[in-house]
Amino acid sequence: MKKSVFYHAGCPVCLSAEHEILELMDPATIDVVHLGEEKSKIQDAENAGVKSVPALVTPTGNVLHINYGASMADVKN
Amino acid sequence: MKKSVFYHAGCPVCLSAEHEILELMDPATIDVVHLGEEKSKIQDAENAGVKSVPALVTPTGNVLHINYGASMADVKN
């Protein structure tokens, strides 16, 4: 099964959302990507349609932006 | 087990998010509340901390605001 990807940038809002998402969904179905630590993946996230983090990209390619932690512009800096 | 509650107001953003959430999580663990049709539940949602819809209130009481469909002020009108 294709996995969901949870993108975050380590901010408190992100970590709180990550904790909840991993509780609610099967953790085995989610890849967690910390864009602050893996800046090479920022382009992947933007290509997937991620506008802000935290965000969950689903197996069908839809993007669920959760709460509002930081814009992608902030993540790059 | 205490259920999550997914609040929405029937807008396209809400319905898209609802579809994704019900795919990703076990639907048996989620109550879906349409605030446009059940206005009596708007107060419950506000008490839970819901600021905009669609939003998922988790069993632990945290609120995940997903994308951004409509503010609670819009839902009341």
Summarised one tens digit per residue, pLDDT across range B19-63 is: 999 999 999 999 999 999 999 999 999 999 999 999 999 999 999
Cα dist from A31 to A18, A28, A48, A60, whole Å: 11, 8, 14, 15
Domains of chain B: total: 1
Instruction: Determine whether the interchain pair B68/A65 forms a contact, defined as Cβ–Cβ distance below 8 Å.
Output: yes
**Is residue A3, in this structure, part of any structural domain at all?**
no
User: Tens place of pLDDT for every residue, chain A, 77 residues?
Assistant: 689 999 999 888 888 899 999 999 999 999 999 999 999 999 999 999 999 999 999 999 999 999 878 888 888 87
> Which domain CATH number covers A50?
3.40.30.10
Domain, as residue range, for A35: 11-71
**Is residue A76, in this structure, part of any structural domain at all?**
no
For residue A62, list chain B residues with Cβ-Cβ distance below 8 A: 16, 20
Distance from the A63 Cα atom to the nearest Cα atom in chain B, whole angstroms: 9
Predicted local distance difference test score (pLDDT) of residue B57? 95
Cross-strand bridge partners of residue A63:
A57
- The predicted-structure confidence for A11-33, as pLDDT tens digits, reads as follows 888 888 999 999 999 999 999 99
Asked whether the beta carbons of A32 and A8 are under 8 A apart, the reply is yes
**Is residue A56, in this structure, part of any structural domain at all?**
yes
**Is residue A6, in this structure, part of any structural domain at all?**
no
**Is residue A29, in this structure, part of any structural domain at all?**
yes
pLDDT at B1 over 80: no
